Amino acid sequence: MNLKKGKVVVAMTSLWLILAVAIVCRASYAYRQLRDIPPSVLASVPFEQETGNIAMALATEKGFSSPMRRDTGPTAWLTPAYPLFVAGIFRVFGVFTLHAFYAAAALNILFSVATCVPMYFAGRRIAGIGAASIAAWLWAFSPNAIVIPFQWIWDTSLSALLAAAILWATFAVIESERLRDWCVYGFLWGSSLLTNPVLGAALPFVSGWTICHGRGEMRERLARPAAALGIAILCCVPWTVRNYLEFHRFIPLRSNFPFELWLGNNKVFDDRSPDVNARVTRYEEERRYVQLGESAFMTEKWNLATDFIRTHKLLEVRLTAWRFMDFWVGSSHPLQAFENSGSAWIRAIFAFNFLTAAGGLIGLANLWRTRSPYCLPVAAFIVAVPLVYYATHASLRYRHPIDPMVLTLTAIAVTGAKRPNNVVAPY
């Protein structure tokens, strides 16, 4: 009996088994969707957004341009990493073709499945193999991680992989005194910033943590993270220089923050607005973008958004609370949305995200209570990354890049925060 129990435990903590199940879950969902959605729709609709439009411009040798598909010239709407991936797919499989969609969805599925690996090893470092296995199993069965790779041809799945990889690499690199390892760590951060700049919100806190917990004298503990930060910045410099040359102003990574801010802060949300039929339409925003050009369009949106925020302070409090709920649960009014949903699958998504959000909070409290030295890096992602979405607009898709941390904390809430033998020592 004990031998059987031991084999079950070994199997349930096997990373290979978790990876296999994760692949089956995502491939099964994709296969079912492929049977239900017409090929003509799959070949076009998933790419009809900024990533697909910019990738099309790249694949047709028009440069990094035209986020609205019309030929509007250079853009900094997105950072370059993921549109370049999609452009490469277009060059091989054709622009807006069914095979291009197959390739893009398959790549997203691989990113999602691979996320189990850094989650597993980071979780093992924080709280042992039990919590690590539960975290990876939660990711394997996560409805978000099953649906998003197929539904969103966007950087979302890649961002989750990079965020989990950064957390794992952070725990590993503090034990190294080799400058080469820190430079590789900096390159990982740079690649992440060029994929999803929002992840950079955690960078100052994580960098500070590596200084406190690194090896050697203080001078060495400062020099190595500084080198990593320098490499991360150098990765972004060519893109920033390109943006300055194209737009004649400083755009470090992306230009679209004013538009995103305006989307969540405009007269549509004001019940007392004289424009009672106000609404945001894609056609109107595309028309305005084409009319003004990117720089003037963003300036206009910034002025409109900041004016709305300044004149609607009480409403802003309510909107921020709604965005908070939308980010963590998937709806600004989750109970109402849960009750009104006629789909068991949608209800499962709401329930899963609510439970893991609560579990993440409990897990973080456990790390704090046990004075785990790993608390700060995890908390940096959980606390800092969502801030921009509380101010702009939110959805579960935006939460997904930090879901590896949320599920790891949920696993810790289930198993209890334990201080493993390989814990780092504070200076």
The tens digit of pLDDT for each residue in 311-323 reads: 999 999 999 999 9
CA distance 78 to 76: 5
Asked whether residue 291 is domain-assigned, the answer is: yes
DSSP state string for 133-161: HHHHHHHHH-HHHHHHHHH--SSHHHHHH
Asked whether residue 425 is domain-assigned, the answer is: no
The residue count of the chain comes to 427
Residue carrying the six token digits 């504070």: 426
Q: Give 50's contacts (C-beta < 8 A, 6+ positions apart).
A: 67, 68, 77, 78
Is pLDDT above 60 for 346? yes
Asked whether residue 399 is domain-assigned, the answer is: yes
Nearest to 136 by CA among 29, 7, 20: 20
State residue 391 phi and psi, 5-degree precision. Answer: -90, -25
Tokens standing for residue 147: 């649906």
Residue range of the domain that includes 204: 2-415
Q: Give 160's contacts (C-beta < 8 A, 6+ positions apart).
A: 111, 112, 115, 145, 400, 401, 402, 403, 404
H or E element in which residue 34 lies: helix 15-36
Is pLDDT above 70 for 427? no
Asked whether residue 134 is domain-assigned, the answer is: yes
pLDDT tens string 91-111 = 999 999 999 999 999 999 999
Instruction: Give the pLDDT of residue 423.
Output: 47
pLDDT tens string 227-238 = 999 999 999 999
CA distance 98 to 301: 36
Name residue 382's amino acid.
Answer: I
Is pLDDT above 60 for 424? no
Instruction: Give the pLDDT of residue 338.
Output: 82
CA distance 261 to 255: 12
Asked whether residue 426 is domain-assigned, the answer is: no
The answer to whether the beta carbons of residues 324 and 390 sit under 8 Å apart is: yes
Task: End-to-end CA distance of the chain: give it in Å, rounded.
Answer: 46
Instruction: Give the pLDDT of residue 277.
Output: 56
Percent of the chain with pLDDT over 90: 79
Instruction: Give the pLDDT of residue 275.
Output: 63
Mean pLDDT of 395-408: 95
The answer to whether the beta carbons of residues 328 and 399 sit under 8 Å apart is: yes
Q: Give 169's contacts (C-beta < 8 A, 6+ positions apart).
A: 118, 185, 188
Tokens standing for residue 168: 């794992």
Mean pLDDT of 112-117: 98
Asked whether residue 423 is domain-assigned, the answer is: no
Instruction: Give the pLDDT of residue 426.
Output: 37
Task: Tell me how far the alpha carbon of residue 79 is from its chain's centroid.
Answer: 13
The chain-wide mean pLDDT, for the chain, equals: 91
Q: Give 53's contacts (C-beta < 8 A, 6+ positions apart).
A: 47, 66, 67, 68, 69
State the total domains in the chain: 1
Least confident of 249-258, 268-277, 299-308, 403-412: 268-277
Residue 402 buriedness (CB in 10 A; 0-12 / 13-18 / 19+): buried
Is the dihedral angle over the CA atoms 242, 246, 250, 254 positive or is it negative? negative
CA distance 354 to 416: 19
Asked whether residue 45 is domain-assigned, the answer is: yes
pLDDT bin (cut points 50, 70, 90) of residue 264 is: very high
Asked whether residue 424 is domain-assigned, the answer is: no
pLDDT bin (cut points 50, 70, 90) of residue 12 is: confident
- Model pTM score: 0.93
pLDDT bin (cut points 50, 70, 90) of residue 66 is: very high
Q: Give 67's contacts (C-beta < 8 A, 6+ positions apart).
A: 50, 53, 54, 75, 77, 78
Mean pLDDT of 299-310: 96
CA distance 201 to 385: 5
Least confident of 12-16, 110-114, 401-405: 12-16
Rg, Å, the chain Cα set: 22
pLDDT tens string 123-141 = 999 999 999 999 999 999 9
pLDDT tens string 200-215 = 999 999 999 999 988 8
Cα within 13 Å of Cα(2), Cβ side: 0
pLDDT tens string 219-258 = 888 999 999 999 999 999 999 999 999 999 999 999 999 9
